[in-house]
Structure 1
């Protein structure tokens, strides 16, 4: 909703929520998401715990807001790259750039699951937007006849695979793209490549190019 049509109370509420999320990211960066505490955030903001709960009713609600923002940011970044015309290799670089810009944001959505937390369905809907872009970028009509055993397995599946409106071969390529990107990024952000002195960006580009 545009600021011009929101009431002063709505704008103030959004400002407070944004400040809460900023403090939450700081907590996550220093101690991890499992240490996230609304009471600690309230203290930092000079508020009482009950006052803060008017803006976020629970820790899980705050985590959901952070995850939703992260997915929305990544989905918008990927879509913008695809609309401008891109290759799979270039798109992998865009995703890597997004992850390196804020590693904690990346790790919140693709790192270790938060114990006891379950994301709502609208989060899945946003992640499906990413898949839709990958299916377009990874489509290769010339390779449709080159079916692997996994392609055959996907073709026999109902449910999720049937919903994406793409061939099993394209779904396989998109999944392979995603696993290679996430594999390299996870190792890079965890610092495993640093002792090797290699260029993770070049490794990622070559991994995706092999597809």
Structure 2
């Protein structure tokens, strides 16, 4: 049975949480360009050299903020799915709505995840892959359930290399589905990220931005047709 955390471990955990909080504040106020480990040290009341016992570099701070954002987004999506019922379409719409709300209220964190890559920074896969794929795994599971329940839409022929890659990821995520279903799920997922990003970054213009979720909702319903269409013949 694991022992209780020591006071030192608890103190470190509180400090790390405060570092993430201060980093998110910098991100909100100044964007990625404004991230500064030294400024976080000042916020903590530390000398600048002391902060490096917790965060070794700006890249490490970026990784902390990326993981925190992925986990926060996934928690919002999973909370929405918990109240969405069993129907695949209802679950996908709930997932898309939760993603939209999260992105619209936290555009800087959304852009950190899905915007332009930060020059010179490469996210460590061993740290970011697990939290970063939680929502994608949920989309795959919804698509798999939709395919089992209905005769879904057709999918273009897949190259063998694509089929192999999709099979590999389905096994990694523990989702039982065929590659064609996975291809539709990836397309629906990519579409969600794309329409939300276009909205967050104002690519559709200020009039569209002002509409918020009212504009995103019908786009999400269109994407739902890829994995849980309304007009389908039962199997």
1:164 aligns with 2:175: no
Q: Which residue number corresponds to residue 76 of structure 2?
A: 77
SS of 1:157's equivalent? helix
Structure 1 residues 202 and 154: CA distance shift in structure 2, 3 A: farther
Q: Describe the shift of the 1:95–1:35 C-alpha distance in structure 2 as closer, same or farther (beyond 3 A).
A: same
The Cα of 1:160 is off from its aligned counterpart by: 5.0
Whole-Å separation in 1 of the counterparts to 2:62 and 2:96: 26
CA RMSD in angstroms comes to: 2.5
Q: Decide whether the 8 Å contact of 1:78 with 1:91 is kept in 2.
A: yes
**Are 1:180 and 2:191 counterparts?**
yes
In the other structure, the counterpart of 1:91 is 95
Unaligned runs of 5+ in 2: 172-176, 227-235
Deviation at 1:183, TM superposition (A): 1.4
Match of 1:112 in 2: 116
Task: Tell whether the 8 Å contact from 2:188 to 2:224 is kept in structure 1 after alignment.
Answer: no
Aligned equivalents of 2:222, 2:72: Cα separation in 1: 25
**Is residue 146 from structure 1 mapped to residue 177 from structure 2 by the alignment?**
no
CA distance in 2, matches of 1:73, 1:46: 27
Q: Distance in 1 between matches of 2:140 and 2:225?
A: 17
**Residues paired across the two proteins, number:** 207
For residues 140-194 of structure 1, the C-alpha deviation after alignment (integer angstroms, 9 at most, x for no partner) is 2334683313xx2267532454331431221112112112211111111112343
Task: Name the CA distance, whole Å, in 1 between partners of 2:202 and 2:221.
Answer: 20
- Give the deviation of 1:83 after TM superposition: 4.3
- Aligned equivalent of 2:42: 43
Structure 1 unaligned blocks of 5 or more: none
Q: Is the 8 A contact 2:196 2:216 kept in 1?
A: no
Question: What is the TM-score with the length of structure 1 in the denominator?
Answer: 0.84
Structure 1 residue 100 and structure 2 residue 108: aligned? no
1:123 equivalent in structure 2: 128
Contact 1:144 1:169 in 2 (8 A): no
Contact 2:81 2:94 in 1 (8 A): no
Q: TM-score normalised to the size of structure 2?
A: 0.77
8 Å CA contact 2:37, 2:58 repeated in 1: yes
- State the 4+ residue runs in structure 1 displaced beyond 6 angstroms: none
- Partner SS for 1:158: helix
How far 1:53 moved relative to its partner? 0.9
